[in-house]
Amino acid sequence: MEKILVLHGPNLNLLGKREPEIYGRTTLADINAMIVARAKEAGIEADFLQSNHEGVLVDALQEATEKGYAFVILNAAAFTHYSIAIRDAIAAISVPVIEVHLSNIHRREEFRHHSVISPVVMGQIAGFGADSYMAALEVVIRRLAEAKA
């Protein structure tokens, strides 16, 4: 069974309570449950990690290959805009990473418009709330099916 890793960055543990006008009322547990259900249908195992600490996310990225993950879905949250450490960790691994954001970062404050990780990820999906994660998962499912064909 293929495995994927879903990484959630800082403050995403507050989803459902934090700025619901921007991030909605869906909780992180809700998002994870949606991913598990769809991944299971596709025969994929999903593991999750949320951290408010940059180094924990870097460690998880660095360990992705040895742990056998086929893909990483990453919402780096605020780290998207300034974490060269996360950018370099993504560039250093062979596991493809898909960048996701709940909100459309390009319609928000100027400092959120730039992603330092975008140049080293497979692609970016933003602005669709929890569906951003689900769209990334559908890409993963399709890519894994194509690799088996």
> Catalytic residues, which ones?
23, 101
* Radius of gyration of the CA atoms of the chain, in A: 14
Q: Count the Cβ atoms, other than its own, within 10 Å of residue 121.
A: 19
CA-wise closest residue to 53 among 87, 29, 76, 27: 76
C-alpha to C-alpha distance for 93 and 38, rounded to whole angstroms: 26
Tokens of 3: 């495995």
